[in-house]
Amino acid sequence: MPEFSPVFREQLQDLFRWRRDVRHFRRDPLPEPVLDDLLRTACLAPSVGLSEPWRFVRVDDPRRRAAVRADFARCNASALSDRAGADAQRYARLKLAGLDDAPHHVAVLSHPEPAQGRGLGRGTMPQTTTWSTVMAIHTFWLAATAAGIGVGWVSIIDPERVMAVLDMDPVLELVAYLCVGYPAQPASTPELERRGWERRAPERREWIRR
């Protein structure tokens, strides 16, 4: 294995700190080679049985993007209606998607039973294909952050409706819908923390021992 210097390890910690869920984007697009490099890096992620179950889908069609935006609006309105009082007011002030400004939309799908990998490691924990896809998403995210690119994960959507909008094989599952672009307001702390929605829990940094 290569030796990683103390300087590199500290820079890696900086990368983890600056990997934020971005919700405010500049509208200028990324160069195509940069997007291609991010995809190639994402595919270096580990996967159960070397199954590589992920599928990265560029959503460029304005009509499809508008349909996803409309689905987000429906789901977000429903989520707001489930809250009351001060909690509803706090929720309404949050900007929970960068769908309007992000120059690139990327849907990440996962194959639950890929032929590749020949089933290794999935007999007792079949969810590992989904988890492998999440690893690829995180690898994509870290690579993007290292290149000064922001990523935002939009989860307030209906997966079945979005899959229909994208006209994808129904055997696949939607794991993530990502907004990608240059961040308008880079920050090393989560926006939800800056806005007073939630704070990190220090006790999560301690081992649970059994």
Report all structural domains of the chain as residue ranges with CATH numbers, in order of start. Answer: 22-186 (3.40.109.10)
Q: Which of 2, 116, 9 is nearest to 55 (CA)?
A: 116
- pLDDT tens for the chain, 210 residues: list them: 899 999 999 999 999 999 999 999 999 999 999 999 999 999 999 999 999 999 999 999 999 999 999 999 999 999 989 989 888 888 888 877 799 999 999 999 999 999 999 999 999 999 999 999 999 999 999 999 999 999 999 999 999 999 999 999 999 999 999 999 999 988 888 888 888 888 888 888 888 889
Report pTM: 0.93
CA-to-CA separations, 39 to 21, 35, 68, 83, 137, in angstroms, rounded: 18, 6, 22, 38, 10
